[in-house]
Amino acid sequence: MAGVTARGGSFTFTTKQGTFSAYVTGLSVESPQAEVVDMTPVNAQPGEIVLVPTGQWAGGSASVDYIHAPGGLDPQRVVRLAGTLTFSSVGYTIQRNAILESASSQASLNDIVRGSLKFRFTDYTP
């Protein structure tokens, strides 16, 4: 059985302030959850619960571990902005409207600059 691998993946986050690109070392996506309402009637038997899907969804997020690209945009400049998050690899692409919630960076002597980004998905179009 063949599967999709994240070999040669590219990552960008495009906002009105510019585009942040990096070399991805890890990507984790949490899908939005179905919105559900409790429609249990007041005269229901004890323990009876009637849950109904609304057809909508809410939430969803993505976490990205990356290696900073030379000359790349500082991710702190685009924290709190909405934009388009795109991850592409052979046979696999994710593109979502998202808000960059937080960014962290780590630099060690004689080592590459690494970091992590946390995004929240949104229906808002920047």
Task: Encode pLDDT of 10-21 as tens digits.
Answer: 789 999 988 998
Residue 2: per-residue pLDDT: 47
pLDDT band, residue 91 (cuts 50/70/90): confident
pTM comes to: 0.78
Average pLDDT over residues 18-27: 88
d(CA 117, CA 56): 26
Average pLDDT over residues 19-38: 89
d(CA 23, CA 9): 8
Give the CA-trace dihedral at 15, 66, 33, 102, to 10 degrees. Answer: -60
The answer to whether residue 1 scores a pLDDT higher than 50 is: no
How many Cβ atoms are within 10 Å of 11's Cβ, its own excluded?
A: 21
The answer to whether residue 4 scores a pLDDT higher than 70 is: no
Domains and CATH numbers, the chain: 10-121 (2.40.30)
